[in-house]
Amino acid sequence: MTLHLAQQGTTLRLREGRLVLEEGGLVLADFPARKVRRVAVWGNVRLSTPALVFLLRQGVPILFLSLEGFLHGVAGAFPEPDPTHLRAQFAASPLPLARAFVTGKLRSARALLKRYGLEEADRLAAVLEDVAEAASKEALLGAEGQATRVYFAGLERLLGAYGLRGRTRRPPQDPVNAALSYGYAVLLARVQLAVRLAGLHPEVGYLHAEGRRSPALALDLMEEFRVPVVDHVVLRAFRQGLLTPAHGEAREGGVYLNSEGRRVLLGLLEERFLEEATHPLGFRKSYADLIEVQASRLKGAILGRGTYTPFYLRS
């Protein structure tokens, strides 16, 4: 299980084989310690030294995030990238892998829009042809940008009543974009973890620009899961009334989810991670496992052990 610690001012302690969440001496929740696979610490939440040491000894990764979803860092035992693998990461041809990431994202985007009978799905099919024929990374990015505009035009048809007016970020300008940004941050943290567990360097990427403390490779791999995980959940949450514009709060020049909105979205995302989907190669796994599978398969492709097949939703 993934343990999300998001109630501000609380402390996680270890007591008699259980992880106990307390505030001012009052027990708010407790969990069987050995069933926890990962811990996400959101904002001002403390871990006692015994709890922290126990988790580290059990090999449980601990992710430290801001309330807006920025990943400060990860504590835990991770394999250091093998020098041979690191050289292979730098030497790998970027265009085929970048094309795979974009193709996976756009196929899923088209499948989602097609389910709602939107004409933008056909327009995305045309852009996918441009992606397949792109002879350079610049051409690929141009096609991706065009596809993003088409996709969000389709999403506006579905979510315009809730304030969506295209994609805005840093800061988001409406409740839907606030939910998308928060969801992408949650997804990125999980993908970064998978990349590190696979023994890959998260800052050596192929689609996104590399930079110090910029997890380019995790951002690359995340593209395949934006639509099937985050967009799917956010779309369903607003249309079913689980999230509403009232869950957004205006501050610092943007709109962000309030604490209740974050709680709702986190719960829905965790449910989605446990749902199963069929990989294009025919096997079924949960989304949580698929992320790790794709990180492992990406490593194999980088090392020359086969062609990388992106994950995408079937139309």
What's the token pair of residue 114? Answer: 């097609």
Q: Could you tell me which residues are beta bridge partners of residue 74?
A: 63
Q: How many CA atoms lie within 13 A of 293 on its CB side?
A: 18
Annotated ligand binding at 85? The verdict is no
**Alpha carbons 51 and 119: distance in angstroms, whole number:** 53
Burial per residue of 19-37, b for 16 or more beta-carbon CB atoms within 10 angstroms, e otherwise: bbbbeeeeeeeeeebeebe
Angle at 224 between CA 216 and CA 169, to 5 degrees: 65
Q: Would the annotation count 22 as a binding residue?
A: no
Q: For 120-157, give the DSSP string.
A: HHHHHHHHHHHHHH--SHHHHHHHHHHHHHHHHHHHHH
208 is in an annotated binding site: yes
Q: What is the largest CA-CA distance in the chain?
A: 62
3-state secondary structure of 282: coil
* Binding annotation for Mn(2+): 144, 208, 223
* Binding annotation: 144, 208, 223
